Amino acid sequence: MTEHHIPYSLALHGGCGVMAPEDMTPTEWEEAREHLKQALRAGWHVLSSGGTAVDAVQATVLVMENSIYFNAGYGAALNSDAEHELDAAIMDGETLAAGAVCGARHIRNPVLAARRLLDLGESVLLTAEGADNFAKQQGLECVESDYFTTPRRLAALESMRRHQQAGTYKAARESEKHGTVGAVARDINGHLAAATSTGGYTNKPAGRIGDSPIIGAGTYARDGVCAVSGTGQGEFFIRHVMAYDIAARMSYGGETLEQAANKLVLGEFKQLGVGAGAIAIDAHGNVCAPYNTLGMFRGWVLPNGMAVVATHDELFEFVL
């Protein structure tokens, strides 16, 4: 994607491995795209008002955490105990400050708890009950766990349990497995930020933590280089330190954003059979959004101020 002529940039994803077209009605696909547009508008409003990249990615992710269509916050996946364990992270490329929570059960919007940790500057990562207690102490909205549960996620859990019993997990649809939301931004001062939030994958072992809250794996931002948010099979992202590796390839290897991201997502991960996607922005505002699965919920802003959302190959332009 070409370099931006406007001084700020924004991109988002709502998870790769997007459902097969027949898994939702045309109306549902349209509504999901509308929620992506709302998320882009929220982040863009921050940037166009002179706000920071950190505020922009938080605003963008917040909208997706509140949407039924994405596996983060409301509508998050259920683990093997039929419970929700939520992960989120946010990182400021200017200072490398970061905050993250994992295994949370009651934080309505995990990205807000991650942001509070970033701002306090003491701990980077809090887990489970500690994360929930921190959110309560900070006055963030906490809810009963069943707030996150939707009929679609209950059906996905039952389907994954059947696949597990039959030994056919690999045949399961991506919509029954996992999903993540994320955003990356460059603000008017050239600072970068990234945020990611997820419910993990359906029928995951209780206590499992993926890449999203792990700084350098699923979330990373460094001024002058890039900001990255990943989506896919998180265990591989952790092992490959995916988000940081993209930054390192650029910083040490001289690769462009597109070269670095594509080598991992369309190269190494694809060769390993690992479903993966990422959104990334470089220091100049160039956007890259590779994925090697059937599709990826995604969106970004074009140089002329027009915005794009997509689920599969087709791109939908709209006015912010």
- Residues 52, 180, 196, 198: which is the catalytic one? 180
Tokens of 301: 């802003």
- Whether 180 is catalytic: yes
CA distance 33 to 49: 24
CA distance 120 to 99: 9
Strand order in the sheet with 192-201: 125-127, 98-104, 86-92, 192-201, 178-186, 9-16, 296-301, 306-310, 315-319
Please list the alpha-helical segments (H only) found in the chain: 26-48, 53-65, 110-120, 128-137, 151-166, 234-240, 242-251, 257-262, 269-272
Q: Partners of 279 in the beta sheet?
A: 229
Under DSSP, the state recorded for 107 is B
- Identify the burial level of 122 via C-beta atoms within 10 angstroms of its C-beta, where 0-12 means exposed, 13-18 middle and 19 or more buried: exposed
CA end-to-end span of the chain, whole Å?
18
* Contact by Cβ (8 Å): 54, 68: no
CA distance 160 to 155: 9
Q: How far is CA 130 from the centre of its chain?
A: 23
CA distance 72 to 105: 12
Angle between helices 128-137 and 110-120 (to 10 degrees): 80
Tokens of 16: 């790769």
Residues tagged active-site: 180
